[in-house]
Structure 1
């Protein structure tokens, strides 16, 4: 299971890296062509926009997988393990509902846009609305896995409900700890 997860994570990172690199090349190349040669690539801006949309949605998948989305654990960290499981389950059910709405809307938009073409590239606009299908399906799989871990793997609920701290908080905590040691408080 870890090999599959690592492979999928690598593919996700690679896809986002390629999208970012292509966007940079297309935009920079278009700028150079416009200023130096008074011409440009007609479809460059449109393709960059499409790549940006895909990169954003793929990044959202990666952030959910790594538990990097913004979160406030002020209440959750004070709850007992059982209460954390209940709150985590309820929040995941709400996320499943939101993902269902995104999936349903994306499927409808993809079907509607199959025959619609983008003006500059001529690509089907279903390429854009398909991002919601990929994102919602991938996120649903991640949520199912995290929900399974939270309910059946001992100690996983604490890892899954802990929000990432800001760099400032981590540095301030380390600074305070160092001051305590220097004053003789950390024997």
Structure 2
């Protein structure tokens, strides 16, 4: 017996989202290309090109933080909701508000630490490429700001939603 599963129609992406996804794809492909380039150099010439290793590492940092922004926007990050799924009504709404508040606190600490890290590396240059490390480390506060904005929007939705609409097992 087959289940009748209705799928929601694919969401149309807006131009900003499409540009962000293209940006992430270019970073990812660039990283893969640089790693492949270095692998070829090592295999056939017995040496590597240090700037390409460093750029691949920088692109890995970028794709990690920009990918985290993407995951946060679409709520695809890791969440442990075992206890929350057992709750409903005002109790669940209150727990969701508290969880969101703690998330904002953690993201605020991440932003603060990221800004300090950027400030401390303003005069530091990378070894192989000479890139200012504040440009690399600046992705952390950018990710934190984006996540704070997303979390504030989620918190606002939770606050505005009536407690009666919070049901057990609802995702």
TM-score category (smaller protein): 0.7 to 0.9
Which residue is 1:173 aligned to? none
Question: In the TM superposition, what are the counterparts of 1:31-180 in structure 2 within 5 Å?
Answer: 31-153=39-161, 162=171
**In structure 1, what is the Cα distance between the partners aligned to 2:27 and 2:79?**
27
Question: What is the deviation of 1:156?
Answer: 7.8
Residues 149 and 156 in structure 1, CA contact (< 8 A), matched pair in contact too? no
Question: What is the deviation of 1:73?
Answer: 2.3
Residue-pair matches, total:
156
CA-based RMSD: 2.1
Residues 89 and 165 in structure 2, CA contact (< 8 A), matched pair in contact too? no
Report the CA distance shift for 1:85/1:9 in structure 2 as closer, same or farther (over 3 A). farther
Which residue is 2:10 aligned to? none
**1:43 alignment partner, SS class:** helix
Question: What is the deviation of 1:107?
Answer: 0.9
Question: What is the deviation of 1:157?
Answer: 5.6
Indicate the structure whose relative CO is greater, using CA pairs within 8 Å and at least 6 residues apart. 2
Alignment partner of 1:14 out of 18, 22, 45: 22
Structure 1: runs of 5+ lacking an equivalent = 163-187
Structure ranking higher in helix proportion: 1
Report the CA distance shift for 1:68/1:156 in structure 2 as closer, same or farther (over 3 A). farther
| CA deviation map 1:95-119 (0-9, x unaligned) | 1111111111111111111110000
Larger radius of gyration: 1
Question: What is the deviation of 1:8?
Answer: 3.7
**In structure 2, what is the Cα distance between the partners aligned to 1:8 and 1:157?**
32
